[in-house]
A and B are shown apart, each in its own frame.
Chain A
């Protein structure tokens, strides 16, 4: 079973962190392994997933979208319908329960698009925990609605002005806070990145997506899908839906990264497609970096994909060939966004809009007997002003 006891997926993963964090990660790993083996922990997680988060989320056969593409049948895993509007709640809830179990009263988190921040703020409000969210100044500007939502739920949003002022810098700042306040503070990391045990833990909490989707697609279509498609920033929604299908060798797994203004331009976030192996935020994985090992600034129309690293398990899945990764640019993502609005009356977030664009292209190339499940990881309300700006529409 991967990861191994040192937190490695093949050559990827591990714990490249300052000494101060090693004992803290040991404590976390130990607490998580105990919780993981405790039925009562999962019973509470499942009960709150149902009654608080609204799980299971539906699997919806998008007939008009499929017809428009003129090929394969496309199912949408409706994580956009989960509480707070994205899959992020699955992980925030699981880790929030773990933090409470560990007796940590102060929760810190980073956020890019704001979805993880909102999910964390919501869970902290519900569990009665203090919540501080680090967010890059550029993302605060791009996602002001989510900033307001977090504040309404009682979270403190701390702007991060270092570096590119986006998700990567918010993680740096959250780690600095954690190094300083490790005694009473729980770092609720939002993706399958970071040092072990985060890639394992976040995968565990997100793989509910794939477990549900697998059952649903079997009962609705009578067989396994031919493809699973999901967008990849850090990669949590993708791992969440991929993982329960890993052993189903007939199911092809495709991760869609953000090509921003194009992979040749240097203004993108396609770590797996264009990056090199390196170490960022405590884990060895594919990283967008220059020739001297400096982490590059990234660009994507979607704040949630705007990250120069990626979860180590994705690097492993890429190298082993079990999953393949492609990149979709800003303009194409907007096409995917509009297409779902027009054909199904569903507004996707800009992150899964990347997956939708690729799904449409893929579906078109396949016959009507093929099926694709795409993870609709979040809803697009938060992105309206970005889309308006991109389409040149006056508010």
Chain B
């Protein structure tokens, strides 16, 4: 069983997946926050490799990416950070980035270095399965999961395609839009998750727009995992010691998820 599979154990456990941009606000912050997230009850951490043109991201992650790039963060730096984190952590680490930095690094080399640094999977929002065959094969050889996404407007045909090919889990985008905290969950989320559930054997994690324990609890009622990103980045924006805020926020989410899974 892979580290990612274990994050969804025991059955009924709702996984809390947290996203942070590597190097935001600085590299030390990433090295500090990831163990904190794990200790507060996160099951998976997505490490964002910043890209200059993050077209699936809303303002919060755009700003964090820009800032991280100014800090000199490169895919190489992100691999080093993952390697350092892995020395003391056992939770799955997943890179989230856009295709061009990975393509530029070289698909084979990138997958090999990910495996070498203890990274467990990749999420690449601008790489749909139609373009992902090469990377799928390469990551499979390295024991990495390539996680695909589905969105509320995905057709039956596409749901089948992704359920056949996504490894680790499936990332369900809650809304047709970009990343970012939102006030309300879309009303058709339950139907969307249900339609994927009929075909999928993998765990289903829902992300985009989830920023409160109430929302997390609602999502945990229908999905196997909840992904939070932009809100966490906002909490880290403050500049002062972000730890109390982050820890309070994550513990709140953990509690909401546990309530949902025992309900």
B-binding residues in A (CB < 8 A): 6, 14-20, 22-24, 26, 162-163, 168-169, 172, 175-176, 179-180, 182-183, 276, 278-282, 287, 289, 291-295
16 contacts between A and B (CB under 8 A): A15-B128, A15-B131, A18-B55, A19-B151, A22-B154, A23-B154, A162-B62, A163-B52, A172-B54, A278-B100, A278-B104, A282-B126, A287-B100, A289-B100, A292-B101, A294-B100
Q: Of residues 106 to 153 in B, which have CB atoms within 8 Å of A's CB atoms?
A: 125-128, 130-131, 148-151, 153
Binds A, one of B5-13, B171-179, B212-220: B171-179
Query: Is the pair A163, B53 in contact by a Cβ cutoff of 8 Å?
Result: yes
In the complex, A180 Cα to B152 Cα: how many Å?
11
In the complex, A191 Cα to B181 Cα: how many Å?
33
Query: Is the pair B128, A22 in contact by a Cβ cutoff of 8 Å?
Result: yes
In the complex, A293 Cα to B53 Cα: how many Å?
11
Residues from chain B with Cβ under 8 Å of A6 in the complex: 130
Q: Of residues 49 to 85 in B, which have CB atoms within 8 Å of A's CB atoms?
A: 51-56, 58, 62, 66, 69, 74-76
- 8 Å CB contact of A168 from B53, B58, B104, B158: B53
Given A278-B100, A279-B99, 15 more pairs with CB closer than 8 A: A18-B55, A18-B151, A20-B151, A22-B154, A162-B66, A168-B53, A169-B53, A172-B54, A179-B56, A183-B176, A276-B104, A279-B98, A279-B103, A281-B53, A282-B126
- B155: Cβ under 8 A from any A Cβ: yes
With known contacts A180-B176, A294-B52, A19–B102 Cβ distance under 8 A: no
Which one of B56, B99, B126 has the highest number of Cβ atoms from chain A below 10 Å of its Cβ?
A: B126
Q: Of residues 154 to 176 in B, which have CB atoms within 8 Å of A's CB atoms?
A: 154-155, 158, 162, 173, 176
Q: Which 6 A-B pairs have the closest CB atoms?
A: A293-B104, A293-B101, A180-B177, A20-B151, A292-B74, A294-B52
In the complex, A278 Cα to B107 Cα: how many Å?
12
With known contacts A16-B131, A19-B128, A23-B154, A179–B178 Cβ distance under 8 A: yes
In the complex, A107 Cα to B94 Cα: how many Å?
37
Counted as pairs of residues, one from A and one from B, with CB atoms less than 8 Å apart, the total is 113
- Output the least CB separation between A134 and chain B (Å): 12
Query: Is the pair A19, B75 in contact by a Cβ cutoff of 8 Å?
Result: no
Q: Which residue of A lies closest to B63 (CB)?
A: A162
Query: Is the pair A294, B154 in contact by a Cβ cutoff of 8 Å?
Result: no
Q: Which residue of B lies closest to A295 (CB)?
A: B52
Which one of B75, B102, B130, B154 has the highest number of Cβ atoms from chain A below 10 Å of its Cβ?
A: B130
With known contacts A293-B100, A294-B101, A19–B55 Cβ distance under 8 A: no
What total of chain B residues lie within 8 Å of the partner, measured CB to CB?
Answer: 40
- 8 Å CB contact of B103 from A17, A23, A293: A293
Query: Is the pair B126, A17 in contact by a Cβ cutoff of 8 Å?
Result: yes
Q: Which residue of B lies closest to A6 (CB)?
A: B130
Residues from chain B with Cβ under 8 Å of A278 in the complex: 100, 103-104
Residues from chain A with Cβ under 8 Å of B76 in the complex: 292
Residues from chain B with Cβ under 8 Å of A281 in the complex: 53, 55
- 8 Å CB contact of A16 from B69, B104, B126, B148: B126
In the complex, A295 Cα to B65 Cα: how many Å?
13
- Output the least CB separation between B10 and chain A (Å): 30
- Output the least CB separation between B96 and chain A (Å): 12
Residues from chain A with Cβ under 8 Å of B100 in the complex: 278-280, 287, 289, 293-295
Query: Is the pair B104, A176 in contact by a Cβ cutoff of 8 Å?
Result: no
Which one of B66, B76, B130, B131 has the highest number of Cβ atoms from chain A below 10 Å of its Cβ?
A: B131
Contact with A along B37-56 (1 / 0, CB 8 A): 00000000000000111111
Query: Is the pair B56, A18 in contact by a Cβ cutoff of 8 Å?
Result: yes
Query: Is the pair A175, B52 in contact by a Cβ cutoff of 8 Å?
Result: no
Query: Is the pair B130, A291 in contact by a Cβ cutoff of 8 Å?
Result: no
In the complex, A255 Cα to B103 Cα: how many Å?
27
- Output the least CB separation between A213 and chain B (Å): 35
- 8 Å CB contact of B176 from A20, A279, A292: A20
In the complex, A116 Cα to B230 Cα: how many Å?
34
- Output the least CB separation between A292 and chain B (Å): 4
Residues from chain A with Cβ under 8 Å of B148 in the complex: 19
Residues from chain B with Cβ under 8 Å of A168 in the complex: 53
In the complex, A179 Cα to B102 Cα: how many Å?
23
Query: Is the pair A176, B53 in contact by a Cβ cutoff of 8 Å?
Result: no
Query: Is the pair A22, B130 in contact by a Cβ cutoff of 8 Å?
Result: yes
- Output the least CB separation between A24 and chain B (Å): 7
Query: Is the pair B155, A23 in contact by a Cβ cutoff of 8 Å?
Result: yes
- Output the least CB separation between B157 and chain A (Å): 9
Query: Is the pair A293, B75 in contact by a Cβ cutoff of 8 Å?
Result: yes
With known contacts A15-B130, A19-B150, A20-B151, A176–B178 Cβ distance under 8 A: yes
- Output the least CB separation between B150 and chain A (Å): 6
- Output the least CB separation between A17 and chain B (Å): 6
In the complex, A168 Cα to B102 Cα: how many Å?
20
- Output the least CB separation between A174 and chain B (Å): 9
Residues from chain B with Cβ under 8 Å of A16 in the complex: 99, 126-128, 131
Q: Of residues 216 to 250 in B, which have CB atoms within 8 Å of A's CB atoms?
A: none
- Output the least CB separation between B263 and chain A (Å): 30
With known contacts A18-B125, A19-B148, A179-B177, A172–B55 Cβ distance under 8 A: yes
Query: Is the pair A294, B173 in contact by a Cβ cutoff of 8 Å?
Result: no
Q: Which residue of A lies closest to B69 (CB)?
A: A294
- 8 Å CB contact of B55 from A24, A175, A292, A293: A175
Residues from chain B with Cβ under 8 Å of A169 in the complex: 53
- Output the least CB separation between A260 and chain B (Å): 18
Residues from chain B with Cβ under 8 Å of A18 in the complex: 55-56, 125-126, 128, 149, 151, 173
- 8 Å CB contact of B153 from A20, A162, A280, A282: A20
Residues from chain B with Cβ under 8 Å of A292 in the complex: 74-76, 101, 104-105
In the complex, A26 Cα to B178 Cα: how many Å?
20
